[in-house]
Structures are given as C-alpha cells and as structure tokens.
C-alpha cells in the first residue's frame, strides 16, 4: 500500500513537488477542476437555496477513476491545490468525489514550490476552509445565473449566439464609454513657446519654455514680435534635493501591467508564463494582491543587495496593500530563490523572471537621491511671462541601479539626468531662436490590456484570478478587439523668431494613431447599451465592486454565501422577467439615418447575425428591403446617411474580362471580385466602389497564376487526392483534410501508393495550420480510415 498520495492541479507542479518528497509519496494531478456545473443547463436549484448541481466532466471520468483507486490504496491523501479560493474549491471537490474524510486526508497550502515550503506544509496541515469554498461557489453560481438569464434575452432582443457575464459586461462598458469620450472630445489648438538662449560664455545654449500657452496664432505671433528686442535675465535659481522611492514588489495586476509596458506581453500571456515559472518552483504564487514579503525573502534580498552593490544600497521595507479585501495569497510575487538572478527556460520565461527579480530586489534598495534645479528667466518689458529651465541630476542612484517602473502615460517626457550648465543670478542671455509650435489638447487614451486591469482594480471589480479571463473573454466573444487605429492628417503651424526675423511654416502630421489598443465592436456597443439601459444596477461599477466585497465577507466567514445569492437574485430576476416580456418598436441597436432620396423609404442601420448592416425599407413594405454590409472602419454608432447610401452601389459590374463580367462586392470577409465563378480578394489599397477593370483584371490574373502554381500533382485513382503548395510548403490534401509530407520526400515524385501510405501513417491530428474550414480531427480520422480501406482494396 502507498503510504501517501499528494494531489495537485497540474502535472508540471506535480513533477516539481515530486523532487522534494521521498519514495513514500506519490504525486498526481487533477488537471484543474474535476467537476463543475453542467455546460448546457443552469445547474442551480434557485428554489432550493441555490443548490448547485455539480457533475464530473466527461473528459475527467477516467482521471477520477484513477484518483479514486490511488486514494483507496494510500494511507493519507494530501490535497495540495493552490491556496486561493479556486484552489480551495478544487480541494473540496476532490475531498467530496474521492469519498475522503478528516482521518485519511489533509489539506496543505504553500505559496512557493520549494523544498522548505513543501516540507513545512506537510508539518502544518489544516482542514479545508469551507468559507473560501463558499466564496468561490457564490461567485460561480451568481455568474452562472447572470449568464443563463441574460443571454436568452440578448438572443431574443438583439441576435443569436450573444452572451453576457457580470464582470465582463462591466469591462465592456468601460471600453465603450472610453471610446465615446474619445469620439466626443473636441481637441483645442494651442501654441507652446520655447526659446534657445545663449549663456554669457558665448558657447552654451540652453532650451527654456514659457510658463503660459497661447490659444491663437495671433496671440503667439504678438508675443514673438514683442520679444524681438527684449533682454533675458536670470532672475532665480532654485536648487533643492529630492528623492525617488522604488515601486512595491509585484501583485498580479502590477505584474500584468508592467509586463505589458516593458516586454509587450498580453495579460493572458503574462499569466500563462508566470504559471509555468511558479509550477517549476522559480517564483511564488502568481495570483495575489498582497505586497507582503516573508522575513526569509527580506533577508535573502538584503544579502543579495549587500553582496552585489554594498550596504549603502540596502533599505529593507515591508509594503502594505491598499486594495480592499486583499486575500488571494500571503506574499507578493517574487523569486523563490533571491540569489538566482537568471534561470533556464524559454526566452519569454527568462524575460518575465528577470522582471520579477529586478522589481523584488529594487523594492528593498535605497531611495535614489536627486538634485532638482529650476531656473527662472525674466523678459524685459514683461513682468508676468517667464521662461523656465528645469534639470535633474542623480546624486545617488540607489534602486535605479537595478530597476525603474514604466508608466502608461504615452506623452510623459523623461527628465531624468537633464544636467544644466553652471549659471549665475542676473546673468544676461542672448536669444538665439524662439518658436511657437501649434499643438492640440490630447484625447483620453484608449485602454490597453494593462491599463484596463489597473482600472478594474481601482474600481474594486474582479480579483487577481479574474483579470486575465475577463479580458480574454470579452475579446473572444467579439465585443472588444485589440487592434490598431489609423490616425488622421492634420496641419500644424510653427512660428520661428531668429535674428529678429519672424517666419511661418506649416507642416502635416499624423495624429491620433493607436496600436494594440482595446476598442469596442458594434456588437459590443449594442449589447452594452441594451444592458446599461435595462439592467443599470448589474452594470453599475459600485454594485459590482460591492458584490466583490460580499464575496470577501463570505471568505472571511462573516456572511453566508446563500444570503448574497438571495439578495442579488431578488433584485435581478424580476428585472429579467420584465425586460423579457417588453416589446420595442425598433430592433435593439437600430438607428434611423434618414430617407433614401430615390425611393423615399427609411434608411436604418442595425446589428444582424453576420454583423452590422444598412437597410433601405422595412419588412412591412410590399417590396423586399435592400441590405448592405458596413465597410471596414464604419460603425453603426457614427455612420451617416451620406456614408450609408453608397454602400448600396455594390455589387457593381466593374467591366468585362474575356467577355465575362467582373463584379465587385463586399462580403463577410471584406471586399472581393467575382469572375467566372471564382473569387479574388480586393487588397486594402483598392476601393471596391472605384476599382477599374484594368486593376481588377490584374488582380484576377495574379490569382489565376497563383492557383495554377498551387497544384503540384493530382491522381486519376482519386479525384479528391492532390499534392498542393501552401503557406508552409507542399502538403497532401485528401477529402478536405490535409497532411504533412515527410522531410526528404520530393512531392512531384510521389506515387499514389506513396501518398496513401503517408496518410495511413500520419498522426491523428493533421498538419498544424492546414485545416480547411469546418474540418476537425474527427474528419481527419475518417479520412485516414478511408485511405486504409482504399489501399487494402488495391
């Protein structure tokens, strides 16, 4: 009989722990949750105190069978899932399903996978914390109720296949509201005055900026005219010491933000890599909102700093979180071993680990000491306006020796180490050049994944374990996209005063361009507006944050989880019934743009099964309404009647090629040309409304040529069997399923028998990236079986 069985969530974690425990311990993985609410049912008995109906996942049936067998053979079962609410729930489900009791099982927790931590956990087991389990159940059940009650309303009122979630819907609301702020923002022009001034040594030039800005070109010009003969005098030099303190060690949200800013990782990518580092025993638990570091970690950091930089660089601190309800773990994210500056692993793992190591070490280092200098320069004949010069010198680098936190402010200018030359009071400076540059006030920035996490945390919405899934979900559902936005060209005026001569230049710049920012789709906007109008309480930021606080109370044993559910459901369900029964004159999201001048019929824009579209007429008309999809870059929220009407110019006949018509149109996947029953994509640099027959003919001929080169070989024995050229090289296509051609094989020389043998010996999963639309591994297996039968018959 096996003495001890340890069950963890992941095989990687099991492998690491196994190294620390002796032969008396067997370590197995549950691969996450072994049971959950049913996929297609509510699985919650709202009339029986919200009793959940848990089922073992079909793909976990064999695993559970093996775990039960192993548990029966062991004297003691150690439930070692993560220490947060989700981990506690996994332990409870294992305890229940495996039929364990307090005599033959123990719950152990640790926030780092090191030998000391594991052995210490074994020495200090505890019971399953049912308060944490109930907090997880409360969130799971409440979110299931919201999803199952709201989604059918969205199908009925807007379009099929839509879904809604409690935290996800609030996140979408933030993004929609920010987009509207941007669209409604009216940028105002202003003129910024800068001057280059020559010091008395005749060599050194300093750059100064005026302490005010002008609203109009006329005001800026008048100022420059007035300083043509002015005398510039140093009126004040103010030097004062300053200091800069290091940022606290990482929590989940700050790691997600900084990894995005410094190394360009998405939120989900950061969490995936951090999970691997944790499971390999390299960092502490990565879902945490605590800033605390253990005494052991502080001492290790101190030793590392002393050895590497000296005693003067040490300043041991204990940070305290400001996040209400911080409870997910007992330590910040830090390296398991502070003396490991680098690790083995993938390039991404090494970069994230380096970031965590530097942040942790820097948090225990001395402040950077600075000397900040401000010079005030007066203008003769002008008592109010002053030029200012600012400089900053680092007198002791402190933690900056290792790390400096980034910021989301894209317009922030870095003033570190701006060293000013020696200057004296009352010195007279000569004007070399002064410029008045026209700029615009900045629109609010769109959210990045990182800045959205920070906003959710500020509002108290979600917890460390929910940030990444929330952001992934709203993108996967098509409510939000992470993409780029083209800027617009704008002319800016610059006035220059040099040698008492004033000149003017106008140059064109592109402004407002965005890259990798979160933007709402039309579906996201329509769903958000419907939910905020009909379910304002559920979408209210404070209400969502208050629910999180109630979950925290449940976790602390201060509130029953069913009380939270009753309170919410009694408020929520009546509104669901009322909204479901209501009727509207117009479809949700529909907007009337005006009247079609040709037919006199109304023109409207709305959301449909295949996306946003414009409609002329209505279903009640004798004639069938006309429909047209929106072009790329158009939105149902901003499109005008003038922009909508040309959409009905498609499909249009561009001309003829070889006496056959060429038609331009827009489909689900963008603009295309139809010729001789074949389709050719129209590239972005062409417009389907204005593309000429010459341009269209060239595109069609290029596609015909590409298609001709695509076929390497076909076989008379089976018309569905072909050897083709693809993006990733030659491959076999058989019955709409694709297979790799082994290295060393010359495709053109393969016989029918050779190809069938390759298909027979191919793995169940065909070549990555080469599935045709709608085919799955099941189809691959079917094709493989067919191939075997064909070969046998021959």
Residues recognised as catalytic = 285
- Give how far Cα 591 sits from Cα of 181, 264, 266, 526, 636, Å: 20, 39, 35, 11, 8
Distance CA 429, CA 196 (A): 10
Instruction: Measure the CA–CA gap between 185 and 202, rounded to whole angstroms.
Output: 46
Residue with tokens 């900026």: 209
φ and ψ of 259, to 5 deg: -65, -35
Give the span between the Cα atoms of 24 and 210, in whole angstroms.
76
Residue pointed to by tokens 């008309």: 621
> 57, 36 in Cβ contact below 8 A?
yes
Radius of gyration of the chain (CA): 33
d(CA 260, CA 255): 8
The 3-state secondary structure of 318-347 reads CCCCCCCCCCCCCCCECECCCCCCCCCCCH
* Residue 149: its H or E element: helix 130-157
- Three-state SS at 197: strand
In angstroms, the CA 386 to CA 732 distance is: 75
- Cα 670 to Cα 240, 499, 522, 653, 684, distances in angstroms: 60, 56, 16, 17, 9
Cis peptide before 144 (omega within 30 of 0): no
DSSP states along 673-685: EEETTEEEEPPTT
Quick one: how far is CA 600 from the chain centroid?
Answer: 45
Instruction: Please give the structure tokens belonging to residue 263.
Output: 């190394």
DSSP string, 745-770: --GGG--HHHHHHHHHHS-SS--TT-
- Cβ contact 285:111 at 8 Å: yes
Helix 267-279 / helix 11-18 crossing angle, nearest 10 deg: 30
Report yes or no: 271 and 348 within 8 Å, Cβ to Cβ. no
């Amino acid at each position: 009989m096996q003495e001890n069985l340890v069950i963890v969530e992941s095989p990687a974690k099991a492998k690491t722990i196994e190294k620390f425990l002796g032969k008396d311990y067997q370590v197995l993985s549950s691969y996450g949750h072994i049971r959950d609410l049913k996929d297609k049912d509510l699985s919650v008995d709202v009339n029986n105190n919200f009793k959940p109906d848990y089922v073992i996942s079909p793909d976990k049936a064999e695993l559970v069978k093996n775990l039960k067998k192993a548990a029966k053979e062991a004297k003691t079962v150690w439930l070692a899932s993560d220490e947060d609410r989700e981990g506690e729930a996994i332990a409870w489900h294992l305890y229940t399903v495996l039929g364990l009791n307090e005599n033959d099982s123990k719950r152990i927790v640790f926030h780092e996978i090191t030998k000391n931590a594991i052995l210490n956990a074994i020495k200090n087991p505890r019971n399953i914390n049912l308060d944490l389990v109930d907090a997880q159940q409360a969130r799971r059940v409440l979110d299931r109720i919201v999803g199952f009650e709201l989604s059918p309303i969205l199908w009925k009122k807007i379009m099929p296949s839509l879904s809604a979630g409690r935290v996800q819907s609030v996140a979408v609301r933030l993004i929609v509201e920010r987009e509207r702020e941007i669209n409604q923002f009216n940028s105002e022009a202003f003129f910024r005055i800068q001057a280059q001034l020559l010091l008395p040594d005749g060599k050194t030039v300093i750059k100064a900026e005026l302490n005010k800005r002008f609203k109009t070109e006329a005001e800026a010009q008048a100022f420059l005219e007035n300083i043509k003969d002015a005398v510039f005098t140093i009126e004040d030099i103010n030097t004062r010491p300053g200091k800069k303190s290091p940022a606290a060690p990482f929590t989940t949200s700050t790691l997600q933000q900084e990894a995005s800013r410094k190394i360009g990782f998405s939120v989900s990518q950061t969490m995936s890599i951090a999970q691997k580092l944790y499971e390999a025993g390299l960092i502490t638990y990565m879902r945490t909102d605590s800033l605390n570091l253990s005494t052991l970690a502080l001492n290790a950091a101190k030793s590392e700093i002393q050895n590497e930089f000296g005693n003067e660089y040490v300043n041991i601190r204990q940070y305290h979180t400001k996040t209400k309800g911080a409870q997910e773990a007992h330590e910040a994210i830090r390296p398991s071993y502070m003396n490991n500056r680098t690790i083995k692993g993938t390039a991404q793992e090494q970069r994230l680990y380096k970031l965590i190591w530097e942040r942790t070490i820097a948090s225990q280092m001395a402040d950077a000491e600075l000397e900040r200098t401000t010079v005030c320069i007066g203008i003769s004949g002008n008592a109010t306006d002053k030029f200012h010069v600012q400089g900053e010198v680092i007198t002791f680098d402190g933690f900056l020796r290792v790390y400096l936190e980034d910021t989301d402010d894209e317009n922030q200018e870095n003033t570190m180490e701006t060293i000013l030359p020696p200057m004296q009071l009352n010195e007279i400076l000569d004007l070399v050049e002064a410029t008045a540059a026209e700029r615009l006030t900045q629109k609010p920035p769109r959210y990045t994944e990182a800045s959205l996490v920070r906003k959710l945390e500020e509002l108290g919405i979600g917890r460390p374990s929910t940030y990444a899934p929330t952001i992934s979900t709203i993108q996967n559902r098509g409510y939000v996209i992470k993409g780029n936005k083209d800027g617009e060209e704008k002319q800016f005026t610059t006035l220059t005063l040099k040698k008492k001569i004033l000149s003017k230049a106008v140059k064109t710049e592109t402004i407002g361009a965005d890259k990798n920012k979160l933007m709402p789709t039309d579906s996201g906007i329509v769903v958000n507006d419907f939910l905020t109008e009909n379910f304002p309480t559920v979408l209210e930021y404070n209400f969502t944050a208050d629910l999180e606080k109630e979950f925290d109370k449940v976790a602390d044993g201060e509130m029953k989880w069913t009380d939270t559910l009753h309170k919410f459901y009694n408020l929520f369900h009546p509104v669901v019934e009322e909204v479901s029964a209501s009727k509207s004159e117009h479809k949700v999201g529909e907007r009337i743009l005006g009247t079609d001048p040709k037919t006199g019929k109304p023109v409207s824009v709305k959301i449909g099964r295949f996306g946003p579209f414009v409609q002329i007429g209505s279903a009640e008309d004798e004639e069938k309404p006309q429909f047209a999809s929106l072009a790329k870059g158009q939105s149902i929220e901003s499109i005008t009647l003038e922009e909508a009407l040309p959409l009905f110019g498609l499909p249009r006949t561009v001309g003829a090629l070889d006496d056959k018509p060429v038609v331009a149109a827009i489909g689900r996947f963008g603009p295309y040309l139809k010729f001789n029953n074949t389709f050719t994509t129209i590239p972005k640099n062409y417009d389907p409304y204005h593309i000429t027959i010459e341009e269209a003919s060239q595109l069609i001929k290029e596609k015909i040529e590409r298609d001709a080169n695509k076929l390497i070989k076909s076989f008379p024995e089976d018309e569905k069997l072909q050897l083709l050229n693809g993006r990733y090289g030659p491959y076999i296509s058989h019955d709409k399923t694709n297979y790799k051609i082994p290295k060393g094989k010359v495709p053109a020389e393969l016989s029918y028998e050779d190809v069938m043998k390759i298909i027979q010996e191919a793995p169940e999963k065909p070549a990555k990236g080469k599935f045709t639309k709608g085919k799955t591994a099941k189809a691959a297996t079917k094709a493989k079986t067919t191939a075997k039968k064909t070969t046998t018959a021959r």
